[in-house]
Amino acid sequence: MIHKRFRLVILTLTLALLMTGCWDAKDVDQRSFVMGIAFDLAETEDRYVMTIELPVLSGFASQSSGEGPKSVMFSTVGTSVAQMATHFESRTWRELFFGHTQAIIISGDAARKSIRPFLDFFDRNPRIDRRLTLFISQGEAQEIFKTKDPREDLVSVYLNQMLNTLTNTARVVKMNFQDSLRNLESNGDTILPRVRSSGTEAVIAGGALIKDYKLIAWLGENETRAAAFLYNNVSGGLIVVNVDDNLYAYAMRSASSETKAKLKDNQLIFEIEVKSEGDIIEVYYEEAQGPSAFDIAKIEDKLNQLIANEILHLVTKLQDLKTDPIGFDRLVFRSYPKFWKEHAKDWKDKIFPQAKFEIKTTFRVRRTGIVEKEVVYERQR
Amino acid sequence: MKGRDRLLAQEVPVIIANMMLGVGTIGLPSRLAEIAGPDGIIAFACAIGVLVAATVLIILLVRRFPNQGIADYSTILIGKVPGFIFNIIFGFFLTCVVATMVRGFSEVTKFFLLQRTPLEVIMISMLLAGSLLARNGLQPIARACQILLYLFLLPLLAIPFFIPIFETGEFLPLFQTDFMSMVKATFGALFALAGIEVMLVIGSHSEDPKQLMRSSVLTVIAVSVLTGILVVLAFGSLSVNQVAKLSDPLFEMIKYVPVPFGIFERVDIFFYTIWIAATYSSVVIGLFTASHHLAETFKLETGKGLVFPCAAASYFLALIPNHEAELGVYGDSLILVWIILVFGVVPLFLLLSLFRKPKQSSTKKKQPQKRRANPG
């Protein structure tokens, strides 16, 4: 009996020693949490500048007194991301931890060369949170981290939060790292959100058009809105239309889109259908008296025309640039696999530029705020 | 109750479910997508069909010899010496299954969680912890598995409601893969779904052999459907291309899940916990089955004393593959043996049993305290 108990105690002790995971124990204060990463071109050819934004945890602890910096930036020059990440180890004894990284910003110049070299390190890293956002900056990427906005302690957190909580504008494509990879690995094309800094604020608006992992053009805000509709990731936003010299601000409450590929007599046609519901939240007019009544049908018609034109303008531009960031190729592959097998090689150069688009938009105005129409008493006139 | 080693009707599904869910589950979507693309779903459905057929064959054999394990009746059916050799090979196969599970578990754990911990330490920890429970016999195992199953079943069922993006188009086009690739993908899916073979040893412990067929088939279908839901979610949320590229796509899919109400930043750690619990239960059942079968082969009173030797053998077998890719080759070899066992040996035994009738009456039950390998 004693022998049995002794064995049990030995076994329990052995397990207790083995199962604590001491080898991997790492205290929080022994880690540097990389919240944001920026990549720029270096002066030397084929080399990049990697900048990381780290929070100063002691700075957050003394938040009440408002003393001390909240974040710190380090930069290094190198070839690959892994190499540059290793360089940082000579500047901090704390292990770099990428599990909380919120934003990766690649400068427009570096993206023109290719964004491919910056993705693999993060794609392979098991600690990476795939909901982080990939941005392309207009100007130097590290300048974004230098933005001094007194309201925000960490620029990377601010950028990611801003992108994910934007509800009043559809002029940006909301796409996280996973979504971007999904598009890029499909055909090498995508649209990434554009970011720029004015010194005191970082602005996310417009998009960067990527073809074969290279930045080929910037998209304006209206073009990006059209792309957001095609990606079906518009959660809200404001559209202003002019009807009879009055400006109507339409706030989208919901929006969805569906794209279908059709093959008629060997002609590829994409049927795009966009639906939205929303409210009129403002009528802008300079006259003393506004419109006596809302012509809802006219407003809806204008909205339909505007968005259809924007989408048509975007797809025509994409056809001209022979790039398919929306993934029309996937639709063809899914619906017409035989046709796809025969024409896959010529997709971007021949087939996609010749495709036709049929766009149908259905915008519905549900309410006009709490004002139904302008009513003026006769005696006041 | 300490001496009781009979499985209650509700414990059979628990044992089967715990054996099926484990190491192979997380890599399954990747295997399917890599070989068959969107057709991986069809290959998976075919694998379920194969598995159900395997379950029916195994349970038919188990029911033909209600109070005997395969070690007992194999010698009656094919003779003492061939039967003994078969039992040794089957025992070795079961030990190899445990070894593959433990090595697969250690590889994934080391990569995702314990990067500095030596592989050997992870394997030893799992085997020792598994041996502790396996030594205590079938009843504690069934009870523990019951608790563990509830622990990981509820979160698994909740996952579909939290996946932010799901694209149904990812499942198209279908029927574009050639026949051989479909066979290969089905074969790959069996690696994740196998586990029912333990019933050849444990099935004889069932308290109600008449219910065995129904409960086993239903459990196999239910667990396969649950696993299928995970595959579908991975395809729809990550895309078939991404799933094919990733080694353990389910872990990546979980990372992508936004946590409601901002309680936690990420939920992947909870998924790891569930997966470790599922693997642990598979290892425990595997160790018990291997030791119990060998005890029956060598006519020992109990398999308890063979649990640690089996764990040690599993450990050394698990060290053989040089890397993860080689482990995949070992896994494929085991599935090949599994197919030979289930669709070769089991039908042969069934056929032979028609001519060499079992000595015992099918309704007569052994007294639990007189069972040879009791407990463990």
**Is residue A188 scored above 60 in pLDDT?**
yes
Q: Which residues on chain B are in Cβ contact (under 8 Å) with A124?
A: none
List all residues 6 or more positions away from B287 whose beta carbon is below 8 Å from its beta carbon.
B98, B127, B130, B131, B134, B307, B310, B311, B314
**Is residue A288 scored above 80 in pLDDT?**
no
What's the start-to-end Cα distance of chain A, in Å? 107
ipTM surpassing 0.95: no
pLDDT at residue B375 in the model: 42
**Is residue A83 scored above 80 in pLDDT?**
yes
Percent of chain A with pLDDT over 90: 55
pLDDT at residue A376 in the model: 54
**Is residue B376 scored above 50 in pLDDT?**
no
Identify which of B124, B241, B266 has the shortest CB distance to residue A18.
B124
> B36 to chain A nearest CA, in Å?
15
Least confident of A170-179, B2-11, B311-320: B2-11
List, in order of start, the domains of chain B with CATH numbers: 11-354 (1.20.1740.10)
Identify which of B114, B121, B132 has the shortest CB distance to residue A11.
B132
Per DSSP, the residues of B16-49 read: HHHHHSSHHHHHHHHHHHHHHGGGHHHHHHHHHH
Kindly indicate the confidence band of residue A70, based on its pLDDT and cuts at 50, 70 and 90: confident
Kindly indicate the confidence band of residue B374, based on its pLDDT and cuts at 50, 70 and 90: very low
**Is residue A294 scored above 80 in pLDDT?**
no
CB contact under 8 A, B128 and A11: yes
Across the range B289-309, mean pLDDT stands at 93
Q: Which helix (H) or strand (E) holds B153?
A: helix B138-158
Each residue of B125-158: pLDDT tens digit?
Answer: 999 999 999 998 888 899 999 888 888 788 778 8
**Is residue B290 scored above 60 in pLDDT?**
yes
**Which has more pLDDT, B258 or B144?**
B144
**Is residue A144 scored above 60 in pLDDT?**
yes
pLDDT at residue A373 in the model: 65
CB contact under 8 A, B124 and A131: no
Measure the CA angle with vertex A37, ends A124 and B259; round to 5°. Answer: 65
Restricting to B residues 64-83, those with a Cβ less than 8 Å away from any Cβ of A are none
Which region, left, alpha or beta, applies to residue B120 given φ > 0 means left and ψ of -120 to 50 means alpha? alpha
The β-bridge partners of A54 are: A72
Q: Which residues on chain A are in Cβ contact (under 8 Å) with B129?
A: 15, 19
Structure tokens, A84: 């540059």
Least confident of A67-76, A302-311, B112-121, B366-375: B366-375
Number of A to B CB contacts under 8 A, please give it.
Answer: 65
**Is residue B369 scored above 60 in pLDDT?**
no
Kindly indicate the confidence band of residue A347, based on its pLDDT and cuts at 50, 70 and 90: very high
Does residue B172 belong to the interface with chain A, where contact is any CB pair within 8 Å?
Answer: yes
Across the range A147-165, mean pLDDT stands at 83
Query: Which overall architecture, per CATH, does domain A232-370 show?
Result: 2-Layer Sandwich (3.30)
Kindly indicate the confidence band of residue A250, based on its pLDDT and cuts at 50, 70 and 90: very high
Comma-separated ranges of CATH 3.30.300.210 domains in chain A: 232-370
Instruction: Using only the alpha carbons of chain B, give its radius of gyration.
Output: 20
Q: Which residues on chain A are in Cβ contact (under 8 Å) with B266?
A: 129
Measure Cα distances from B249 to A15, A63, A111, B234, B245 in Å: 31, 40, 28, 7, 8
Each residue of B200-229: pLDDT tens digit?
Answer: 999 888 888 888 999 999 999 999 999 999
pLDDT at residue A167 in the model: 59
> B112 to chain A nearest CA, in Å?
6
Least confident of A59-73, A292-306, B246-260: A59-73
**Is residue A266 scored above 60 in pLDDT?**
yes
pLDDT at residue A361 in the model: 96
